[in-house]
Structure 1
Amino acid sequence: MKSNEFIFEKLFPDVITGKNILVTGGTTGIGRATALLLASMGNNVIICGRHEQELEDTKDDFQKLNSNRGSLEGITVDLGNEEGVVELFSYVKYKFSNLHVLINNAALAFNGVEEGTYPEQEYVVKTNLLGYIACSKEAIELMKKAGRGHIVNVGSMSADVREEGSSVYVATKAGVQAFSHSLRKEVNDKGIKISLIEPGATGTDMQPIPPEEQEQLERKMEMLTAEDVASAIVYILSQPERCDILSIQLRPRQQKL
């Protein structure tokens, strides 16, 4: 009979620890939960967000975990424009000699095409889609030097469900889905993995309902928690080199899709 330790090592020989990781949109929601989990596992994590207070709160929460293995640092940037992407990766190159993992997560909620002005819709598309593309380009250049890397794009089941009244947001998440599948073919021979994770309804600040109502929906299994998605991302990253997880969809058991 094989020991549990041996079985674990066989199943997860590349346990995600000691890696240099960038999480965009890492100051709130899914990105925040993922960054805290990965840092507590002994990884060196950089996060970015648009608001200084949310960044400082996330860094403080990591310190409260009393983890002496990993690190968590960050910068405030706006990935809805080129300057933000340039500033972010200048910071990454200053802090890291190389980059092992990029988690593209920074995104904004938006409703239907009849709502908002052209500049507002443009900003959402740039953040939710072009931001993923631009950050992936920069990350790939860093990963090619090491001959390996992993990009995880956080999408949404909205890409397939295509719910009414959310056409602008749906368009960006459908774009992320298509981008992920095509990019995988571009960089596979460079040793870089591309994975897509698409959660259903998840309790985060993007939801237009109060936190207490989100907690009720989570208890009723009609909504995921950000930590649920974070644990799935860790599962993706912990697979052996021979294994390539293309995509994962997560839904609350009682969400009607």
Structure 2
Amino acid sequence: MAIILITGATAGFGKACAEKYAAAGYNLILTGRRAERLKTLQTTLEAQHGIKILPLAFDVRDQEAVAKVLGNIPLAWQAIDILVNNAGGANGLSPIQEGDVEDWNTMIDTNIKGLLYVSRVVMPWMVARQQGHIFNIGSIAGKQVYAKGNVYCATKAAVDAISQGMRIDLLPYGIKVTGVHPGAAETEFSLVRFKGDAQKAADVYKGLTPLTAEDIADIIFYCSQLPRHVCINDLVVTPLQQANAFYYDRK
């Protein structure tokens, strides 16, 4: 049975992907910082779909933990067919000259370094099998820089560049790499960015019908089911009322 590894699986895109692939009969390796949420998700999905789940509680920012926990999973679980590098987020929204250095470090360590740490463990397993598909979750912010987005936009631009580099370096081994760059999507994203301010988070989507986590999971699933010779390299996905990072039609 095919195996999919999803980082940041306890909420948002990651959780939706876990639910989508579980329903399709995939066995799952799910990672996240919140062990209780992982256990709850494991119990629910295993009961509903009769699959097996390997939950791994660690922070992708911790290179030692990634290497120790993920790097030492049982051999049978190392035959990963699909990796969804989903763990990431935005912290704060301010002019760069007023930026919070702790927020910067969190975004750089999670969005860039965490993705690399996980990929560095998994890619050699895929190379050895000469197959696999890696999905890197970027953002429309990685394509167009907007005011006060500065460092977050930079980290997602890095995800875009890393995806391109992976695609080149892994080409001889038959490994697909797909970058998925969502626009306005209503998950915990804005709540985290505004440090729990529910009103500010809600205002981001005011007048819009935003993307849902399930929309992105559906797209990832579709891309992963295409014939072996077909790879969708790069996708920018927005709700109908969003043209790009700047232009919205709010009703």
Cα contact 1:203–1:215 (8 A) shared by 2: no
DSSP-derived class of the 2:49 partner: coil
Counterpart Cα distance in 2 of 1:43 and 1:126: 29
Match in the other structure for 1:197? 180
Counterpart Cα distance in 2 of 1:51 and 1:37: 20
Counterpart Cα distance in 2 of 1:204 and 1:240: 31
User: Residues 103-123 of structure 1, C-alpha deviation per residue, up to 9 Å, x if partnerless?
Assistant: 101002123432213x44223
**In the TM superposition, what is the alpha-carbon distance from 1:167 to its structure 2 partner?**
1.1
Q: In the alignment, is residue 142 of structure 1 matched against residue 131 of structure 2?
A: no
Match in the other structure for 2:216? 229
DSSP-derived class of the 1:58 partner: helix
Cα contact 1:148–1:190 (8 A) shared by 2: yes
Cα contact 1:200–1:249 (8 A) shared by 2: yes
Q: In the alignment, is residue 245 of structure 1 matched against residue 228 of structure 2?
A: no
Match in the other structure for 2:100? 116
Match in the other structure for 1:55? 38
User: Residues 216-255 of structure 1, C-alpha deviation per residue, up to 9 Å, x if partnerless?
Assistant: 949x653110000000000110110110110111101113
**In the TM superposition, what is the alpha-carbon distance from 1:63 to its structure 2 partner?**
4.4
Counterpart Cα distance in 1 of 2:62 and 2:179: 23
User: Residues 162-213 of structure 1, C-alpha deviation per residue, up to 9 Å, x if partnerless?
Assistant: 12111111110000001101210111111111110001111111113649x8
Cα contact 2:12–2:213 (8 A) shared by 1: yes
Match in the other structure for 2:194? none
Closer, same or farther: CA 63–116 of 1 in aligned 2, 3 Å: same
Moved over 4 A (4+): 213-218
Q: How many residues align?
A: 235
Q: In the alignment, is residue 188 of structure 1 matched against residue 171 of structure 2?
A: yes
Counterpart Cα distance in 1 of 2:20 and 2:135: 15
Q: Which amino acid aligns with 2:107?
A: V
- Give the one of 139, 143, 149 matched to 1:156: 139
Match in the other structure for 1:80? 61
Cα contact 1:102–1:152 (8 A) shared by 2: yes
Counterpart Cα distance in 1 of 2:105 and 2:10: 23
Of the structure 1 ranges 235-244 and 88-97, higher mean CA displacement relative to structure 2 is found in 88-97
User: Residues 131-155 of structure 1, C-alpha deviation per residue, up to 9 Å, x if partnerless?
Assistant: 1122212111111121111110011
Cα contact 2:138–2:160 (8 A) shared by 1: yes
Counterpart Cα distance in 2 of 1:184 and 1:102: 14
Counterpart Cα distance in 2 of 1:88 and 1:95: 15
DSSP-derived class of the 1:241 partner: coil
Match in the other structure for 1:27? 10
Closer, same or farther: CA 94–51 of 1 in aligned 2, 3 Å: farther
Cα contact 1:201–1:222 (8 A) shared by 2: no
Cα contact 1:42–1:71 (8 A) shared by 2: no
Give the 5 Å matches for 1:203-214: 203-208=186-191, 210=198
Closer, same or farther: CA 192–56 of 1 in aligned 2, 3 Å: same
Q: 5+ unaligned residues in a row in structure 2: which ranges?
A: 192-196
- Give the one of 52, 56, 63 matched to 1:71: 52
DSSP-derived class of the 1:202 partner: coil
Counterpart Cα distance in 1 of 2:38 and 2:68: 16
Taking every aligned residue pair, what percent have the same amino acid on both sides? 28
**In the TM superposition, what is the alpha-carbon distance from 1:158 to its structure 2 partner?**
0.7
Counterpart Cα distance in 2 of 1:247 and 1:134: 22
TM-score normalized by the length of structure 1: 0.83
- Give the one of 38, 63, 77 matched to 1:96: 77
Q: 5+ unaligned residues in a row in structure 1: which ranges?
A: 1-17
DSSP-derived class of the 2:59 partner: coil
User: Residues 2-48 of structure 1, C-alpha deviation per residue, up to 9 Å, x if partnerless?
Assistant: xxxxxxxxxxxxxxxx3111100111100110011111210011111
